[in-house]
Amino acid sequence: MKFTKATAFLLSLLMLTGCSKPVAKPVYAPVSNTSPTSENSQSATAEQTTEAPTTQPVTTAMTVSEPPAEAVIEGEKSLDVYSEITVIEFITNTNVEILNGNELIDTSKTGIVEIPLVYVFNGTTYNQPIECLVEDKIAPTLLNSGGSAMIETGEKFELTNVVGVADNYDKNVRLTYEGTVNSSVPGKYPIHAYATDASGNCTDWNLTVTVVDKFPQAEDNNARLSFDTFKANYGGENRKLGIDVSKWQGDIDFNAVKNAGCDFVIMRIGTYYDEHAMDKFYQNNIKKAKEAGLEIGVYLYTTANTEAEIKENAKWIADTLGGQKLDFPVVFDWESFGNFQQYEMSIHDLNSYFELFNSEMENYGYSAMLYSSKNFLNNFWYVKNDYPVWLAHYTNQTDYNGVYDMWQMSCYGKIDGINADVDLNILYTD
């Protein structure tokens, strides 16, 4: 189905479980790039008149290095980086009339910021800059504690390879640790780790690194959920049930999928690891899913970490779609949080990149949806409330309290027409 304004998500690091009722939120439609123009703009010469001129009060503009002695202008001593604050909110005490009070202060960089202030005092207008300190007071966020860190004997231990941290401002968090990891001898090595940003804010934690001769074979003891059971337990009014697929599901019989009661399919259009690669089953998937009468959407798995790469992602998607209509916004799937610091981004950076992605997709006639797990929706993404969200939380009942439009509740689904495991999703339509 097509998202409307009436409608309002994968790592294994999910933190909590429980139950809450999802709340739908609107999807924003593409916006026009056309700027309004004046129809009556013209130039004219001044004409003399015999009418008496109207007397207006006159103020004198001055640029001064110091405000008048009697003028009181006191502001906050410091501001948080990336805080949204206007000039008038910054002023704590004054006896002057602030003229530019609604202007936002630039808090995008730490250090001394000069705030231009325009005010009237005793009938005279003054342009007086005042200074304030912008600070980063928030310690780095621990995204992956490395609690199950394991390396093979002979492998050099690097803390950055087993943990993930992110800072709200600093792109390069410094990782250090106390303790010893002897990678030549199998065993368990407890260490104490530190993540420190450029402002000296620090997050520290304990972890144990296990050294083994050979990685153990992973066991799969996960129960599978049949689509029939899924439908019986999660279907109902104002809901649609669907799946998401990629090359890992192989050749799919979409007619059988449709007949099983599936309403929609979100398919991987491709991946981006420094260069774009189309999912090798994408062309067949989108063609066959449409023919079967399924509603369709696409997602791009990306590790883009610059504005230029984000723009390239959006253009590649639009070029690949070639104007095809979708029933869902294009899904932004960024989930390499396990070693996030290696991408040299801040939390602010990636949030702003998602907003840029949405803007670029709107330029191509589409919109964007954010896919992420409960953990990162709670602890990383703060732009989510303005965009449709696809929540990933593998549990029978989610306790995520944020707004979301679709819930990926299992990655161990079974459905007719697909021989492999498949993700199961619930779309809320009101």
Q: How many CB atoms lie within 10 A of CB 319?
A: 11
Q: What is the CATH number of the domain that holds 393?
A: 3.20.20.80
**Final residue of a structural domain among 190, 212, 234:** 212
In contact, 57 and 108? CB cutoff 8 Å: no
Q: At what angle do helices 307-321 and 347-363 cross, to 10 degrees?
A: 30
Shared domain for 236 and 369, answered yes or no, is: yes
Residue 382 lies in a domain: yes
Shared domain for 247 and 377, answered yes or no, is: yes
Nearest-Å Rg of the Cα atoms of the chain is 28
**Final residue of a structural domain among 127, 155, 171:** 127
- C-alpha distances (whole Å) from 146 to each of 79, 160, 288, 339 are 33, 10, 42, 10
Residue 74 lies in a domain: yes
Shared domain for 233 and 269, answered yes or no, is: yes
In contact, 217 and 224? CB cutoff 8 Å: no
Residue 412 lies in a domain: yes
Shared domain for 94 and 197, answered yes or no, is: no
Residue 34 lies in a domain: no
Query: Alpha-carbon distance 165 to 347, whole Å?
Result: 10
Shared domain for 236 and 268, answered yes or no, is: yes
- Domain of residue 100 covers 65-127
In contact, 345 and 171? CB cutoff 8 Å: yes
* Number of domains the chain is built from: 3
Q: Counting beta carbons within 10 angstroms of the beta carbon of residue 345, is it exposed (0 to 12), middle (13 to 18) or buried (19 or more)?
A: buried
Shared domain for 160 and 272, answered yes or no, is: no
Residue 398 lies in a domain: yes
Query: Alpha-carbon distance 330 to 387, whole Å?
Result: 12
Residue 28 lies in a domain: no
* pTM as predicted: 0.82
Look at residue 68 in the predicted model and tell me its pLDDT. Answer: 84
Shared domain for 147 and 238, answered yes or no, is: no
Residue 378 lies in a domain: yes
**Final residue of a structural domain among 212, 235, 258:** 212
Query: Alpha-carbon distance 79 to 81, whole Å?
Result: 6
Which residues lie below 8 Å from residue 177, measured CB to CB, with a gap of 6+? 159, 191, 192, 193, 194
Shared domain for 266 and 357, answered yes or no, is: yes
Residue 289 lies in a domain: yes
Shared domain for 289 and 419, answered yes or no, is: yes
Shared domain for 195 and 303, answered yes or no, is: no
pLDDT in tens, the chain (430 residues): 334 333 333 333 333 333 333 333 333 333 333 333 333 333 333 333 334 444 444 445 555 556 788 999 999 999 999 999 999 999 999 999 999 999 999 999 999 999 999 999 999 999 999 999 999 999 999 999 999 999 999 999 999 999 999 999 999 999 999 999 999 999 999 999 999 999 999 999 999 999 999 999 988 989 999 999 999 999 999 999 999 999 999 999 999 999 999 999 999 999 999 999 999 999 999 999 999 999 999 999 999 999 999 999 999 999 999 999 999 999 999 999 999 999 999 999 999 999 999 999 999 999 999 999 999 999 999 999 889 999 999 999 999 999 999 999 999 999 999 999 999 999 999 8
Q: What is the pLDDT of residues 64-118, one digit of tens each?
A: 556 788 999 999 999 999 999 999 999 999 999 999 999 999 999 999 999 999 9
Shared domain for 345 and 198, answered yes or no, is: no
In contact, 285 and 306? CB cutoff 8 Å: no
Shared domain for 378 and 412, answered yes or no, is: yes
Identify the three-state secondary structure at position 324: coil
How far is CA 46 from its chain centroid? Answer: 55
